[in-house]
Structure 1
Amino acid sequence: MTIVAKDLVWGVRQKTIVDSVSLTVAKGETLGLIGPNGSGKSSLLRLLAGLKQPQSGQVEILGQDIARVPRRALARQVAFVQQDTTTDTNLSVRDVVRLGRTPHRSALSGWTETDRAVVLAALERVNMNGHIAQGWQTLSGGERQRVHIARALAQTPQVMFLDEPTNHLDIHHQIEILRVIRDLELTSVIALHDLNLAAMFCDRIVVLDGGTVRACGTPEAVLTQQLLRDVFKVEADVECSLTGSPHIRFRAQ
Structure 2
Amino acid sequence: MSVKAQNLVWGVKRRQIVRDVSLNVSEGETIGLIGPNGSGKSSLLRLLAGLKSPHSGLVAINDRDIAKVPRRALAREIAFVHQNAATDTNVTVRDVVRLGRTPHRSALSGWTDADEVAVTTALERVDMTSLSRQAWQTLSGGERQRVHIARALAQDPKVMFLDEPTNHLDIHHQIEILRLVRDLDLTSVIALHDLNLAAMFCDRIMILEGGALRACGTPQTVLTEDLIRDVFRTDSEVKHDNGALHIRFRPNSSL
TM-score interval for Structure 1 and Structure 2 normalised by the shorter chain: over 0.9
Whole-angstrom CA distance in 1 between matches of 2:176 and 2:42:
22
3-state DSSP of counterpart to 2:89:
coil
Q: Are residue 139 (structure 1) and residue 139 (structure 2) matched?
A: yes
3-state DSSP of counterpart to 1:150:
helix
Where does residue 4 of structure 2 map in the other structure?
Answer: 4
Mapping for residues 189-204 of structure 1, pairs under 5 Å: 189-204=189-204
Where does residue 154 of structure 2 map in the other structure?
Answer: 154
Where does residue 99 of structure 2 map in the other structure?
Answer: 99
Where does residue 168 of structure 1 map in the other structure?
Answer: 168
Mapping for residues 21-32 of structure 1, pairs under 5 Å: 21-32=21-32
Deviations 1:5-31 (A, max 9, x none): 000000002000000000000000001
Contact kept, 8 Å, 1:32 with 1:190, in 2: the verdict is yes
Where does residue 229 of structure 1 map in the other structure?
Answer: 229
3-state DSSP of counterpart to 2:237:
strand
Whole-angstrom CA distance in 1 between matches of 2:162 and 2:244:
22
Across the two proteins, how many residue pairs are aligned to each other? Answer: 252
Deviations 1:148-174 (A, max 9, x none): 000000000000000000001000000
3-state DSSP of counterpart to 2:80:
strand
Structure 1, unmatched stretches of 5+, are none
TM-align CA RMSD: 0.8
Mapping for residues 37-116 of structure 1, pairs under 5 Å: 37-116=37-116
Whole-angstrom CA distance in 1 between matches of 2:170 and 2:177:
11
Q: Are residue 248 (structure 1) and residue 250 (structure 2) matched?
A: no
3-state DSSP of counterpart to 1:28:
coil
Whole-angstrom CA distance in 1 between matches of 2:143 and 2:90:
15
Deviation of 1:62 (Å)? 1.4
Whole-angstrom CA distance in 2 between matches of 1:172 and 1:195:
16
Whole-angstrom CA distance in 2 between matches of 1:22 and 1:63:
14
Deviation of 1:252 (Å)? 2.5
Whole-angstrom CA distance in 2 between matches of 1:241 and 1:13:
47
Question: Structure 1 stretches (4+) deviating beyond 3 angstroms?
Answer: none
3-state DSSP of counterpart to 1:168:
coil
3-state DSSP of counterpart to 1:130:
helix
Contact kept, 8 Å, 1:99 with 1:151, in 2: the verdict is yes
3-state DSSP of counterpart to 2:176:
helix
Where does residue 124 of structure 1 map in the other structure?
Answer: 124
**Which amino acid is the alignment partner of residue 58 of structure 1?**
L
Deviation of 1:245 (Å)? 2.5
**Which amino acid is the alignment partner of residue 21 of structure 1?**
V
Deviation of 1:241 (Å)? 3.9
Whole-angstrom CA distance in 1 between matches of 2:232 and 2:184:
30
Deviations 1:186-232 (A, max 9, x none): 00000000000000000000000000011000000000000001000
Structure 2, unmatched stretches of 5+, are none
Whole-angstrom CA distance in 2 between matches of 1:159 and 1:86:
22
Stretch moving more, 168-177 or 83-92: 83-92
Whole-angstrom CA distance in 2 between matches of 1:98 and 1:130:
16
Deviations 1:43-102 (A, max 9, x none): 000000000000000000012100000000000000000001121112101110000000
**Which amino acid is the alignment partner of residue 177 of structure 2?**
I
User: TM-score of the superposition, structure 2-length normalised?
Assistant: 0.98
**Which amino acid is the alignment partner of residue 237 of structure 1?**
E
Contact kept, 8 Å, 1:219 with 1:245, in 2: the verdict is no
**Which amino acid is the alignment partner of residue 186 of structure 1?**
L
Whole-angstrom CA distance in 1 between matches of 2:69 and 2:218:
31
